[in-house]
């Protein structure tokens, strides 16, 4: 497997529109799209910056993973995603090396990427997402 770059940083927020003001009006970044990911019960706003992007995540359901995260830890950085060249191979490598995977098989995340999460207990406390995109 090859890890190519930081794909995005996932930030859990209570209110997408409110938080966008900071990123757009203060930092001058541009939101290039919003998407609802039903499976994750989340609404995502994409803010590309340089070679990676910030993804703001607002829960669409009080029982969703982002709502639960905010209940426990408050708003803030929820996960870091690394772009890999081959996600199936990356998952195999992780398992071979004893890394606990939340997703043993890739699934589809925001923007049509194939993604898989590694358990924070195996990664030094960070929820790490592996991400592969077709166009790369």
Q: d(Cα 49, Cα 96) in Å, to the nearest integer?
A: 34
Number of Cβ atoms within 10 Å of the Cβ of 7: 25
Q: How far apart are CA 76 and CA 111, in angstroms?
A: 21
Q: Based on CB atoms, which residue is closest to Zn ion, 20 or 80?
A: 80
Beta strands 33-37 and 76-84, pairing class: unpaired
Residue with the shortest CB distance to Zn ion: 10
State in angstroms the smallest separation of the CB of 23 from Zn ion.
16
In the complex, least distance from residue 118 CB atom to Zn ion, rounded to whole angstroms: 12
CB of residue 127 to Zn ion, shortest distance in Å = 9
- Residue ranges of the alpha helices (H) in the chain? 16-21, 65-73, 87-96
Residue ranges that bind Zn ion, judged by CB under 5 A: 10, 81, 129
Nearer to Zn ion, 10 or 96 (CB): 10
* Residue closer to Zn ion (CB basis): 81 or 118: 81
CB of 55 to Zn ion, least distance (A): 6
Q: Which is nearer to Zn ion, 54 or 81 (CB)?
A: 81
Strand partners for 33: 46
């Amino acid at each position: 497997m090859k890890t190519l770059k930081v794909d995005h940083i996932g930030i859990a927020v209570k209110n997408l529109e409110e938080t966008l003001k900071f990123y757009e009006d203060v930092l001058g970044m541009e939101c290039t799209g919003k998407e609802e990911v039903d499976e994750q019960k989340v609404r995502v706003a994409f803010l590309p910056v340089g070679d990676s992007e910030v993804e703001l995540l607002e829960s669409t359901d009080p029982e969703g993973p982002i709502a639960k995260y905010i209940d426990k830890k408050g708003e803030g950085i929820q996960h870091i995603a690394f772009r890999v060249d081959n996600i199936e191979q990356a998952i195999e490598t992780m398992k071979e090396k004893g890394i606990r995977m939340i997703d043993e098989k890739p699934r589809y995340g925001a923007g049509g990427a194939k993604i898989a999460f590694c358990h924070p207990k195996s990664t030094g406390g960070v929820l790490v997402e592996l991400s592969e995109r077709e166009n790369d």
